[in-house]
Amino acid sequence: MKRAIARFAAAAVALAACPGLHAQSSPFKSDWEMEQEKLNVREGEVKLPPRFREENLLEFEIGRTVSFRFFIDRASLDVGTDGVVRYTLVARSPQGAENLSYEGIHCKTGRTKAYAFGQASGGWRAVKQEWVDVEKLWTRVLRTEYFCPKHRVIRSAAEGVYALQRGGHLERGN
């Protein structure tokens, strides 16, 4: 028995000494690994848009119980070749307070992220944020009702503007 253990230990040491064996990986991936690869979004270059102009804002409704009003800046709406719809979001409270953010939705994965937040000075404060599952109500509404009908990315910014103008995409509903 001691000899068998000694041979096993010697074989393990010999295998550990072969550097090429560590670099090899299985060509087969687990379901978990494949799912993680789907969640990784390979983005193109992201440029922050200029500050919105009031005449470019398109209002959309997220529910009658929400007191804030939500708008998308039509001039900022962009459909990237990376499958991400990017836009400037303006949220206004009934008292007139305003929140401004530049965000993106990846339609295939249903994930979202913020790129920047508006500053009182009129500029942007860029943030480094990872993609997250849709958590905010307005993001869920934008994804399902306007920008990602049936989990498909809209073809152009004009298609997104049209959906916002008519109160929803023709193919909405996920």
The total domain count for the chain is 1
149 and 172 Cβ atoms separated by less than 8 Å: yes
pLDDT on residue 29 = 61
Q: Which amino acid is at 15?
A: L
Task: Give tens-digit pLDDT for 17-26.
Answer: 444 444 444 4
pLDDT on residue 44 = 74
d(CA 138, CA 134): 9
85 and 78 Cβ atoms separated by less than 8 Å: yes
- Residue 57: beta bridge partners? 73
**Domain for residue 11, yes or no?**
no
**Domain for residue 100, yes or no?**
yes
What does the pLDDT average to over 90-115? 95
**Domain for residue 91, yes or no?**
yes
Identify the three-state secondary structure at position 143. Answer: helix
pLDDT band at 39 (very low <50, low <70, confident <90, very high): low
Which segments of the chain does DSSP mark as H helices, in order?
2-16, 19-23, 31-39, 137-141, 157-166
**Domain for residue 174, yes or no?**
no
**Domain for residue 9, yes or no?**
no
Residue 155, judged by CB atoms within 10 A of its CB (0-12, 13-18, 19+), counts as exposed
143 and 174 Cβ atoms separated by less than 8 Å: yes
pLDDT on residue 151 = 87
d(CA 58, CA 44): 26
**Domain for residue 30, yes or no?**
no
List b or e across 23-32, with b for residues whose CB sees 16 or more CB atoms inside 10 angstroms.
Answer: eeeeeeeeee
Q: Domain of 60?
A: 54-166
pTM for the whole thing? 0.75
**Domain for residue 19, yes or no?**
no
As a whole number of angstroms, the longest Cα–Cα distance in the chain is 84
To 10 degrees, the CA torsion angle through 71, 128, 104, 73? 30
Share of the chain above pLDDT 90, in %: 60
**Domain for residue 103, yes or no?**
yes
What does the pLDDT average to over 40-62? 88
> Measured between alpha carbons, how far apart are the two ends of the chain, in Å?
62
pLDDT on residue 2 = 53
Task: Give tens-digit pLDDT for 154-167.
Answer: 999 999 999 999 99
